[in-house]
Amino acid sequence: MIEHQLDAFELRDTVTHNQGSYSAIIADTISRYKDGQPILYYTWTPYWVSGVLVPGQDVTWLNVPKSALPGSRSGVDTSLPDGSNYGFEVNVQKIAANKEFTDANPAAAKLFSIMKLPANDISAENLLIQNGEDSEADIERHADAWIQGHQDTWNGWLEEARAAASQ
């Protein structure tokens, strides 16, 4: 994909594409950023990298002038509803649950359908895991801290979920 876009956007004269182990390359990218050097990198969200190089704070998402996917995907439009175009198809993350469980638990089904966590929050939690806070107790503490920091949102979700259970 990146190789295709380097050609499609005529970037080969100005961008050096380093390939290899993502962990090693991103470590170098983060070091370059901390040293004040220019960086251009590929990542996805949510992912721990965006807990270090926070979109909208430390880095910005670049837009492409047009969609340019390779091969059989060449006709796919990568534009977002707000008009931005990052050049990649967007993946949507959703909660998957057993239908028998959700049928028997309408409050849980409603909660799963309305919960929306910001990608930057998930990336920040991923960074905690990357940094060794990866035990079950750590993850429960992360969740509790997120809830405490977003108590009104959490309470609203629970209120909606409880209302669905009483219908």
Query: At residue 3, does pLDDT exceed 90?
Result: yes
Give the separation between CA 83 and CA 86, rounded to whole angstroms: 10
Share of the chain above pLDDT 90, in %: 84
Q: What angle do CA 97, 99, 92 make, to 5 degrees?
A: 40
pLDDT tens-digit series, residues 110-143: 999 999 998 889 989 999 999 999 999 999 999 9
The reported pLDDT for the residue numbered 111 is 96
Strands, E assignment, 70-152: none
| b/e burial code for range 121-133 (CB count within 10 A of at least 16 → b) | ebbbbbbbebeee
How many Cβ atoms sit within 10 Å of the Cβ of residue 51?
21
Domains belonging to the chain, first-starting first, are 2-73 (3.40.190.100), 99-165 (3.40.190.10)
pTM of the model: 0.73
Question: What stretch of H or E contains 6?
Answer: helix 2-8
